Chain A
Amino acid sequence: MNILSDFNYYAPESKAEAFELIAKLGDKCKILAGGTDLLIMMKNGLIEPENIVDIGGIKEFAGIEMKDGKGGEIGACTKIADIENSAAVAGKYGALSHAAGEIGSPQVREMATLGGNSCHASPAAETPASLCAYGAKVVISSKDGDREMELKDFIQGNRQNDLKPGEVLTKFIIPEPKKKSACKYGHIGLRKAMEIDAVNMAVNIAVSDDGSVAEADLVMGSVAPRPLVLPDIKDILVGKKVTDDLAEKVGDAAQAAASPISDVRASAEYRKDVIRALAIRLVKEAYDAAKAA
């Protein structure tokens, strides 16, 4: 399979050069980072861009910075493998580290970037659920400056994001996890490698000194056109200690909120069952880990 439409290829070497170029080309260009999604779309003829701007080599767009007590920042062009293999990320954002390690194959993880996983906005993407559960923001840059928004608002639907012509996603800002909190990620797929998740989910729970839930977030992937945040989890859990009954209530709420489709990977009915089971498991796991933190 080959790309059948020709294009101009640009590889800017600096941030400033990239912003100029992307502003000039506007909606006539597509941005290439790792290429593991973009090239497949081009090969399948789903897109035929006139211009490709390769930002994968721009050092200013990559890198992991974990700040003591002040959260972390990850450049959009940071390779998924670098996130998976980072002890600093694993220590602070275990669910993100876990999700990164579940993407594609070792080769895909060496090529793909964190920014690409969100910008491509596949409903089944692995990293957005955990990033959203941590409350991550994205930095969107252009030659006119930066703007920030919540990742959950940036991803707007299947293959749709908030980028306007001339803009590029450059960074993720992740808040410092609360003391005595834990975020857990889980997914269901058909096999271990190179699968696309039937359902994925991240649950982030913080507990008070008395062991009751202080904060709770649940985000699901692959069950709706965009990452699905479940606000009900706060009403069900906050102020209480997690019991089997309460975990099951979260499972019921997650199941009711999701609107999965039937496709080659799983039926909607199966996905609904899995959503409940995964929510119950992750609520318990996150709660127990938060208490032990």
Chain B
Amino acid sequence: MKKQLITLTINDQDYEVAITPMDILADVIRREVQLTGTKKGCGEGDCGACTVIIDGKPELSCLKLAIACQGKKIRTIEGIADPKTGELSPLQKSFLDHGAVQCGFCTPGMIMSSTALLERNPNPTKDEIKKALSGNMCRCTGFVLIVEAIEAYVNAKAESGVN
């Protein structure tokens, strides 16, 4: 089938990509836009590695048609660090400081799910953190450290009094 040109808005930047209707968002982000931070694990929506934030909500880019995402605001892991300096966000730093990254394959999805949670609920309880991450699998497995990293970030932010 003939490819068609669509525009995807990813991390506040417009990308014109040539796709067919059957192209999956995760593939288009990785192959066409060349943002390879988003990972494709199971391809069936079970593992959460492909999580991106679409219009503020965490969604699975492996179960999304790219063509259906025109006009939506997509955020990937590349949009979390400072766009100018590339400096990691405090949440990302907390992951590193707490050893919450082992092989790293699940990390972008973990960061996207926890970012979506923290934007909706800046002071989550441990249970709320676990629930928000329940669709993200880590097979290394560092779940405990991942939860600790998010908790530490939340506590540090509460102590510093900055919202």
Residues of chain A touching chain B, judged by Cβ–Cβ distance below 8 Å, are 1-9, 11, 32, 35-36, 39-40, 42-43, 52, 54, 56-57, 81, 104-108, 110-111, 192-194
- Whether A106 and B64, one on each chain, are in contact in the complex, defined by CB atoms closer than 8 angstroms, is no
B window 88-136: CB within 8 A of A: 113, 116, 131-132, 134-136
B contact residues, range: 20 to 34
Q: Which residues of B contact A36 (CB under 8 A)?
A: 45, 60, 63
Q: Which of B21-29, B74-82, B151-159 contacts A (4 or more CB under 8 A)?
A: B21-29
Name the distance in Å between A189's Cβ and chain B's nearest Cβ.
13
- Whether B45 and A104, one on each chain, are in contact in the complex, defined by CB atoms closer than 8 angstroms, is yes
Picked from B59, B68, B135, the residue with its CB within 8 Å of the CB of A193 is: B135
Q: Which residue of the partner chain B has the closest CB to A9?
A: B21
Residues of chain B touching chain A, judged by Cβ–Cβ distance below 8 Å, are 1, 20-22, 24, 27, 42-46, 48, 51, 57-60, 63-65, 67-68, 113, 116, 131-132, 134-136
CA distance A122 to B113 in the complex (A): 27
- Whether A35 and B44, one on each chain, are in contact in the complex, defined by CB atoms closer than 8 angstroms, is no
A107 and B51 contact, Cβ closer than 8 Å, known pairs A5-B22, A8-B21: yes
A9 and B45 contact, Cβ closer than 8 Å, known pairs A106-B132, A111-B60: no
Q: Which residues of B contact A106 (CB under 8 A)?
A: 58, 113, 116, 131-132, 134-135
CA distance A42 to B134 in the complex (A): 25
Additional pairs, 18, CB under 8 Å, beyond known A40-B45, A192-B134? A2-B27, A2-B43, A9-B67, A9-B68, A32-B65, A35-B65, A35-B68, A36-B63, A39-B63, A52-B21, A54-B65, A54-B68, A105-B134, A106-B131, A107-B59, A108-B45, A108-B135, A194-B135
